[in-house]
Amino acid sequence: MSKKKSMSRRSFIGKSAAGLSSVAFSSALMEMLLSSTGCKSGPGGASGVSDLILPEDVLAKAVSHLMAKGADFGDVYVERAAMDSVMSDDRKINTTTTIAKGVGLRAVKGGRTFYAYTGSFEPERVYETARYVADAAAAPASASAPSVITLSPLASGLSFPIKPMPSDLAVDQKIALFKTLSDRAWSADPRIVQAIQLLREIIRQVNIATSSGKIVKQTLGLTEFMAQTYVKGADGQLQAAMDQRGAYAGRDFFTGENAFEKVVDAAAAKAVKLLEAVDSPRGVFPVVLGPGMNGVLFHESCGHGMEGDLVFKGSNYKDQIGKQTAAKGVTLIDDGTIESYPGSYAFDDEATPSERTVLIEDGIQRNYLCDIIYGEKLKMKSTGNGRRQSFRYPPIPRMRNTFIEKGPIPAADIIAGTKRGIYVADVSGGGQVDVITGNFMMGVGEGYLIEKGKITKPIKGATISGMGIEAMKSIDLVGDDLKMFPSAGRCGKMQTAPVGFGMPTIRVRNILVGGKGEAWTDIEGGK
Amino acid sequence: MNFKKEYLDIARFAVERAKKAGAGGAAVSAEAYVNDTESIQVTVNARAVEQMSAVKEAGIGVRVLRDGKMAFGSTNDLSRDAVGGMVDGLVKKVVFHTADEFNIIPSKDDGALAADRLGYEDLGSYDPRVAEVPVQEKTQTALRMEAAGLGFSPKIAGSMMAVYQDGTSYVYLANSSGISGWFRQSGCGGGVEFTAAEGESRESGSFTKGVVKWADFDAEEVGRKAAENAVSMLGAKPIASAEMPMVVSPEIGTQIFSFIADMLSADSVQKGRSLFAEKVGTEVASKGFTLIDDGRLKGGMSTAPVDGEGVATQTTPLIVDGVLKTYLYDCYTARKGKAKSTGNHTRSGYGSAGGIGTTNLYLKPGDAAPEAIFAGIDRGFYLTVVLGLFAAIDAASGDFSIPSAGFMIEKGKKTNPVRGVTIGGNIFELLKAVDKVGNDLTWFQSLGSPTFSVSSVKIGGSGK
């Protein structure tokens, strides 16, 4: 499941550093982790554990060591994380547990980043690692006097309570919950041959101290749920579908249409539908994208190209500020402040407050997504997009919750106004982008033919691909039904990051659709 | 990096602790896997270092088995207190898990190997130089890699990504069946992506290469090949939808086989998730198609004496002359399927309980020179770039429509670059349509493929 979601050609040597590839913890361990330094998971959720992991003087001294050889900027990132997963696979329910802790140390000199981490919280080990990084960053024969760093805590109005704390529910109760979900999945249809459900609960307690004197303390509680169902038709044909949700919140977030039961039902319903599906037509023709999670298409097709590091190196969005990069009427936003959404946080991983960033306004490029380093290189400000997977990685510019703002047209009119094309309900097939050319691709999970203004047969095996800016300029109708989607699908760009998406119903007038079905050469699909 | 006895000791401690924690009740078996790693990553851009990252980490993953129930936990705190506490927690909670009669901590009868004091057999998968070479030299290597590409052609506009990365890993294994041992692996390599520009045309090209030994890494070659890939795509245009023969480059071949290998896992098959189920002994590919997984390949990137649960690795022909011979097994699926483990329990680090994975997987080369494969095609497509392959193939049905780029083949020769097309079909039909296999086996990390051709594919495109 995860492989399909986040295969990235940018991670190419699998066997080097140990990764946090699989996850989890037990509630007893969680308690142990939090209580080991006097932190208690109080009933208020996040607030109860937002304390310093290492004493302030240790943090300050570590930053001083980092800066002692003339670095321009430095920060210390202290993290401890407890991860618990419950999985039902083949009706077998098991849990796994992971505890990880470490301190990441970064020094920046002349726009270059030097990074190392230690798994130890021993002050001497932290200082030693800081000195190693400072030495690596030192320009030949340059040494300035070590400065005394004074740290002052930052406060934010944003907080995402974790209710309940994962540790408040015992293992046997979690397994009982999964028994119910697993039975529900298996009984949804007689053609079901396999079903998987996975719940991941991750608590990360983070302290950041920077050479500009900031200290940030935050506790992030990420909950992710995924369901995948396989069905077999009478003709032996096998089909699979999945659905998922994720949020910086406890399990209480997952109610209504985000309920685990709804996710399980949706995975089964989509898979069953695929048994009746026809092969997708191929060629260039109109595609109507349904609201919500399809926003991932714009995350891939243009969001990546607007990330500061890639802009700096020459993505297809370089030098586009003030220029038209999408059709008039299209507004694209990256928002890190939506409560509990997977791309939301009070501060990013280099202590910059999060914000709502307008990237494209009515078709015109207004901004890029920057961290401190690329903000400086591009002579722009950090937009609070400096994120890291864990203490093992230095921060890089990443998206948060990326969505297209709603437009004026009733969604039903968009479908009714399309003579021939496809309707994509869910592009859950995963995707990839080449940011130099802007070429992107997305697999379609749930799609239908549009014939004479009506949604008709389900299709299978469709992919959508094209050039980001061309596709954005080809949007001719934007619906009024904006829907946000709290996704559990993580974005992979050397490191993984939880991200959210959203969009209203929109139509792309012309885009390349791949499929096994007939070649459509008639591109007169519109009104 | 060195062998550290204390890590073998902590692995044995974890196993003993699990047995002790279960005393008085049903017997507990356990397995501990300690992984000690070192890694350097250097990213360069525009002939300067952009980022240098140094990593040292060790951690432990423990599996405990009681009454047919299995639990897994891991931590990077290797103090006896932390490991002991975690193990106690696993023994406590495992009673709530689902019993599965096939769960197993392998013993000698299951193929598990105990090592002598010097550790497991050395199969040439480790080079001490990888960890010893100073970081300054690695930085220079990364810079040379990028420079070789930047200097390849005036049409190269810049690099998007140029990364040198290496890793050294020591694995320490112990279990309650009396198995224990250790082995080591290393790897280093680089990946570059360049932008090429000419007139209105902007194209990208990338290349990556990983090897076991420091001396075998040719940084300039990686840079040049990435640049050549970018420049050769300049002026690429879509073509019109059509059906035609296709030649597949070794790099794309390896990506396709990596996908197929997932479906050849006994786990996928037993859980009804693979269309290769009940196909052993039948023809699943064309006559010239032989796919091999070789965990003992001398000097292979994924070569190791034992797999992730201590079972001896082996050479496993999966498909021979088009006929499916076996699936890939670990001890759990072997027990369930009344087969023997093929030594394919794979772990991606101490934090992973593991699952079935390939070791060194390759398509056996044939007799044809690549030029001869092209020569036989009057009008065809040469596939060299795919986007989102894993998203574009439906694992359940095998149907695919893969956004692709490459070149036209006209009158036996590679001609104009092509972009903005999709190739559509079904992976099982594709395997049966392989008609020529080249003699140019090329390795990309632990996956290998020669050039090969397919008699016909559907191409979807917007061109004229």
Give the residue, A133 or A429, on which the prediction is more confident: A133
B383 Cα distance to chain centroid: 21
User: Residue B57 corresponds to which tokens in the numbers above?
Assistant: 């980490």
Distance from C-alpha of B447 to C-alpha of A419, rounded to nearest angstrom? 46
Give chain A's mean pLDDT: 85
pLDDT at B462: 73
State whether B271 and A96 contact (CB < 8 Å). Answer: no
Considering only CB atoms, B89 lies closest to which of A29, A102, A466, namely: A29
Higher pLDDT, A164 or A403: A403
d(CA A388, CA A79): 11
> With an 8 Å Cβ cutoff, are A96 and B71 in contact?
yes
Q: Which residue of B has its CA nearest to A91?
A: B98
Q: What tens digit of pLDDT does each residue of A179-221 get? A: 999 999 999 999 999 999 999 999 999 999 999 999 999 888 9
User: In angstroms, what separates the C-alpha of A338 from chain B's closest C-alpha?
Assistant: 29
A105 touches chain B (CB under 8 A): no
Q: How far is B343 from chain A (nearest CA, A)?
A: 17
Q: What is the pLDDT of residues B25-65, one digit of tens each?
A: 889 999 999 999 999 999 999 999 999 999 889 999 999 99
User: What residue in B sits closest to A7 (Cα-Cα)?
Assistant: B390
B128/B38 Cα distance (integer angstroms): 12
Question: What residue spans define the domains of chain B?
Answer: 5-230, 236-464
Residue where one domain finishes, among candidates A275, A292, A327: A275
| pTM above threshold 0.90 | no
Are residue A59 and residue A198 in the same domain, yes or no? yes
Facing residue for B391 by CB, picked from A17, A313, A429: A429
Q: What is the CATH number of domain B5-230?
A: 3.30.2290.10
Give a yes or no: residue A11 inside a domain: no
- Facing residue for B387 by CB, picked from A20, A94, A432: A432
Mean pLDDT of B152-178: 95
pLDDT reading at A249 higher than 60? yes
Q: Spell out the SS3 assignment of A296-354.
A: HHHHHHHHHHHEHHHHHCCCCCCCCCCCECCCCCCCEEEECCCCCCCCCCCECCCCCEC
Q: Are residues A72 and A140 in the same domain?
A: yes
Q: Can you name the residues that pair with A387 across neighbouring β-strands?
A: A396
pLDDT band, very low/low/confident/very high, at A229 (cuts 50, 70, 90): very high
- Hey, is the C-beta of B24 within 8 angstroms of any chain A C-beta? no
Q: Is B338 left (phi over 0), alpha (psi -120 to 50) or beta?
A: left
As a whole number, mean pLDDT of residues A278-284 equals 91
- Which pLDDT value is given to residue A196? 96
Q: Which two tokens stand for residue B369?
A: 């020179």
Q: Nearest to residue A93, comparing CAs of B219, B111, B180, B99?
A: B99
A312 and A190 fall within a common domain? no
Average pLDDT over residues B250-267: 94
- What angle, 0 to 180 degrees and rounded to 10, lies between the N-to-C axes of helices B80-93 and A27-35? 150
Domain end marker among A275, A291, A316: A275
Q: What is the pLDDT of residue A492?
A: 82
- B463 and chain A in contact, CB less than 8 A: no
Average pLDDT over residues A59-79: 95
Q: Are residues A40 and A119 in the same domain?
A: yes
Number of domains in chain A: 2
Q: Let me know: does A307 contact A377? Beta carbons within 8 Å.
A: no
Q: What is the 3-state secondary structure (H, E, C) of A128-142?
A: HHHHHHHHHHCCCCC
A455 part of a folded domain: yes
Task: Assess whether A212 and A170 both reside in one domain.
Answer: yes
Determine contact, residues A501/A401, Cβ cutoff 8 Å.
yes
Report the chain B residue with the minimal C-alpha distance to residue A105. Answer: B53
Q: So what's the pLDDT on residue B171?
A: 96
Hey, are the CB atoms on A15 and B100 less than 8 Å from each other? no
DSSP A178-233: HHHHHHHHHTS-TTEEEEEEEEEEEEEEEEEEETTSEEEEEEEEEEEEEEEEEEE-
Structure tokens at A323: 């220029």
A301/A245 same-domain check? no
- What confidence tier does B378 reach under pLDDT thresholds 50, 70, 90? very high
* Mean pLDDT across A267-296: 94
Q: How far apart are alpha carbons B203 and B385 in whole angstroms?
A: 12
Report residue B425 as tokens: 């079909």
- In this predicted structure, the answer to whether residue B232 has a pLDDT above a threshold of 60 is yes
Half-sphere exposure of B3 (CA within 13 A, CB side): 14
Q: Is A460 on the interface with B (CB under 8 A)?
A: yes
CA distance B157 to B218: 23
Interchain contact B77–A (C-beta under 8 A): yes
pLDDT digits (tens, 9 = 90+) for A318-338: 999 999 999 999 999 999 999
Query: Is residue A5 in a domain?
Result: no
pLDDT value of position A47? 38
- A242 lies in the same domain as A219: yes
Task: Indicate whether A13 belongs to any domain.
Answer: no
Q: Are A285 and A434 members of one domain?
A: yes
Strand, coil or helix: A44: coil
Q: How far apart are CA A295 and CA A330, in angstroms?
A: 13
Please, what is the Cα angle at B216 between B210 and B221, to 5 degrees? Answer: 70
Separation CA A156–CA A216 (nearest Å): 10
Q: In this structure, is residue A1 part of a structural domain?
A: no
Least confident of A11-20, A169-178, B89-98, B221-230: A11-20
CB A133 within 8 A of CB A109: no
Stretch A476-494: mean pLDDT, rounded? 92
Write down the pLDDT at residue A437: 82
Give the 3-state secondary structure of A445-485. CEEEEEECCEEEEEEECCEEEEEHHHHHHCEEEEECCCEEE
The residues, any chain, with a CB within 8 Å of residue B300's CB and separated by 6 or more, are B125, B212, B294, B359, B360, B446
A30-34, B185-189, B249-253, B361-365: lowest mean pLDDT where?
A30-34
A8 pLDDT higher than 80: no
- Domain membership flag for residue A106: yes
DSSP state of B265: B
The three-state secondary structure class of B416 is strand
DSSP, residue by residue, A142-157: ---PPPPP--EE---S
Report residue A524's pLDDT band, with 50, 70 and 90 as the boundaries.
Answer: low
pLDDT of residue A523: 58
- A472 and A393 share a domain? yes
Q: Specify the range with the lowest mean pLDDT, choosing from A167-176, B192-201, B290-299.
A: A167-176
Burial of A447 (0-12, 13-18, 19+ CB in 10 A): buried
Q: Is A4 within a domain? A: no
Query: pLDDT tens for residues A432-442?
Result: 788 888 888 88
Residue B36 CA to residue B3 CA, distance in Å, equals 9
State the CATH number of the domain containing residue A32.
3.30.2290.10
- CA-nearest residue of chain B to A179? B98
Q: Which residues of B touch A90 (CB under 8 A)?
A: 270-271
Which of A259, A275, A291 terminates a domain? The answer is A275
Residue with tokens 């990051």: A497
Which residue segment(s) compose the domain that A375 sits in?
Answer: 278-520
ipTM: 0.87
Q: Domain check: are A447 and A303 in the same one? A: yes
Whether the CB of B79 is below 8 Å from some CB of chain A: the reply is no
Dig out the tokens for B408 from the structure.
């036209």
* Residue A92 touches chain B, beta carbons under 8 Å: yes
